Each structure stands twice: as structure tokens, then as C-alpha cells.
Amino acid sequence: MSSVSVGLDRLLEKDWRGRGFDQDVDQLVAIIQSEKPVTNQLEESTERVRAASVIQATWRSYQTRRRVKNLNRAVSTLQRRYRSRRRHEQEQQEAQRQKEELKYQVCVRRQQARRSFHQRQLRLLQLLPPEQVQPYLEECKRRAAIVIQSFWRGFRERRRYKNTLRHALRQKDIQEQAARTLQRAVRRFLEKRAPAKVPFLVPLWIGQEGLTDSRRAELQQQVDNYISVHRSSRVSPEECVSLHQEVQLLLQAELQRGDYYRREEQRVAAVLACTHTQLELLRDAPPLSVVTEMQANSFLSPSASIAARARDAHNAVLQASRLPWWRMLGELDAGVGSGHAHLQELEAELGGLFIGGPAKDSKLSEVE
């Protein structure tokens, strides 16, 4: 039984635990473990210790191999970082040394320039007469003071301008931020406030479409009741009636004037349309050499008197054009003025109808 039950307790713990009969499994495992001899337990514990030692040794060897493998990489990284840091420090030291050397050279050059300036000034002073030395020194001091003052004023103005500009920008930012805050608050207020629904009021014009006599009488009764209840202390009822009648007359006159204006606009539009049509006909008219009788009749005036006068004027012009030139010599000067005056009279009489000048084609026949 002991040889058969070896490992049975572990199998039960692994496969049959958590299936609804854990209590029975626990009892069976307890029975199996109670039947094991003490020697088997010692051997099992020894085997477990040996297995744990093997596992630990394997894990430690793996860690050691990995550490040794990564050691070269770590050393290379450490060396690279150390070299880069040392190179950076050397570059900083070199830059600092060059900066100090440049500063020293600038100081030396300034000192040399100052020494040469003083030496040159001393030589100039030696060349000057004694009575001009003091005025020359004062002039040099004055020029130096002017240069110093100009530099100081320029620096002060630039600083003041920067401060003013900075202050103006700050004020502008503050104003813009305040405006944005106000606009945001107003928008939120308008969004929260429900739009007021004002009912559409139909104007109660007298004579409007849809207003019947019964409705008009009802409205008049309401107006009379309101006037009787709310009497005015400044205007008498007779004055109210007269004022109402005057308003009605003005309204009627305005409506009539509107009708007159509409009729006048329609008449002007009709006249313009007729004028445009006549202009298009005149522009598209064919030449006289190919004109037909029907086309010629389309240009005749509907008025008989105007047509007769135009025909007579045209015949007179044609007859005058057929006369020989020597018969027109004596009448040339008088005929020019009289001809123009006669044409103007004809145009005034015929209402702006154009009367043509002398014909150029001698083959034209009289209009019958």
C-alpha cells in the first residue's frame, strides 16, 4: 500500500482540489500521509533540499555568466562617458582660457591706445604756444563731456522707450483680457436668457384685406369703450373726433397719392418701353435701297397731321435738292439760317420728330 500511494497525495492536491468535495479529499490525503513511513519522509525532505541546492546553483551560475558577459559593455560605457566628460571639461577650460586671453589682449590694446593717445596729445601740447594750451585742454574736456552726455542721453531714452513700450503692451494686454472677459460674460448671459417671444401685431388699417364690416364695427366699439373709460383731461371728445376725421382724411389722401404715383410709374415705364422699341426698330432698319413698302409703313406716324406735315417737309427738301446750284447762290446765306429755323419750328411743332436734311441721292422719288 505504501509503494502504491507514493505521490498520490500530491496528485489529489493538484487534480481534485476545488471540485466540491474538498473535505473528503483532505481526509484521504491525511490517511495517505499517516500511512507513510518516517524514512520516506526523511528521504523526501533530503531530495527536496538537494533539488533546491541544484536550482540555486544553476541560478547563481546564470547570474554570474550574465554579469561577466555585460561587464565589458559596462566598462566600455563607463570609459566612453568618462572620456566625453573629460573632453567636455577640457573644452570648457580651453574656452575659458581663450576668453581670458582675449580679455587680456583687449585690455592691453586699450592701454596701448590710451598711452599712444596721451603721447600724441603731449606732442601736440609741446607744439602749441603756452597761451593756447589751457584753451585747448578746455576744448578737449568740452568735447569729451559732449560725447559722454550724448551716450548717456541715448541710453536713457532707449531705456525710457523700452519701459514705455513695455507698459503700453502690458496695458493693451490687460484691456484685451478685460474685453474678452466682458464678452464672455455677455455671451453666457445671452445664452442663458430665453429669447423673449413677442407676438406679431397686425396693423389695424382701415380697409385691409380680411377686415369685414362686423369686425370693423366690433373694433370701433372697443375703441369707443376704451375712450369712454379712459377720458383725456387735456383733449375734449369733440377735438378727438375732429382729430380722428383729420387723420382719416390724411390717410385717404396718402393712399390716393400712392395710387397716383403707381399709375405715373406705370405710364413712365410704358413710355420707356415704347421708346426703346422704336430705337431698336430704327437701329435695325434696312437701307433705303432695299426697303419695302411694308417696312416703310412701319415707320409712319399714327397721327395723320404729323404724317402729312412730315411728307410736305420731305418733298420740299427733295425739290430744293434738285434745283441747280446757281439758283441757290442768292438764297445760300439766308437759306441756311432759315432752314435751321424752319427745322427747329417743325421739330417743336411735331413734338421732337426729326426732319432730315438735304438728300444725297438724286434718284429718290417723292413720297406719295
Tell me which DSSP letter residue 16 carries: S
pLDDT for 111 equals 93
- The better pLDDT of the pair 31, 144 is held by 144
Tell me which DSSP letter residue 276 carries: H
- The CA R_g of the chain, rounded to the nearest whole Å, is 63
For residue 288, give every residue at least 6 positions away whose Cβ sits within 8 Å of its Cβ, in sequence order, or none. Answer: 361, 364
State mean pLDDT over 9-35.
Answer: 70
Helix or strand holding residue 219 (H, E): helix 213-229
CA distance 295 to 312: 20
For residue 13, give every residue at least 6 positions away whose Cβ sits within 8 Å of its Cβ, in sequence order, or none. Answer: 25, 29
CA distance 356 to 112: 107
Residue 360 phi/psi, 5-degree rounding, is -95, -20
Q: Which amino acid is at 334?
A: A
| Burial (0-12, 13-18, 19+ Cβ within 10 Å), 310 | buried
For residue 321, give every residue at least 6 positions away whose Cβ sits within 8 Å of its Cβ, in sequence order, or none. Answer: 358, 359, 362
CA 157 from centroid of its chain's CA atoms: 39
pLDDT for 360 equals 38
pLDDT for 306 equals 66
For residue 17, give every residue at least 6 positions away whose Cβ sits within 8 Å of its Cβ, in sequence order, or none. Answer: 25
Helix, strand and coil in the chain, % to nearest 5: 75, 0, 25
CA 122 from centroid of its chain's CA atoms: 72
pLDDT for 257 equals 87
- Residue 62: count other Cβ atoms within 10 Å of its Cβ: 10
State mean pLDDT over 161-166.
Answer: 91
- Predicted confidence (pLDDT) per residue in 124-142, tens digit: 888 878 888 888 888 889 9
Owner of C-alpha cell 419695302: 292
pLDDT for 365 equals 40
Cell representation of residue 366: 417723292
Owner of C-alpha cell 373694433: 219
Global pTM value = 0.25
- Predicted confidence (pLDDT) per residue in 71-81, tens digit: 888 888 889 99
CA distance 99 to 63: 52
CA distance 55 to 64: 14
- The better pLDDT of the pair 82, 215 is held by 82
pLDDT for 103 equals 93
pLDDT for 99 equals 93
- Predicted confidence (pLDDT) per residue in 329-362, tens digit: 655 444 444 455 555 555 555 444 444 443 334 3
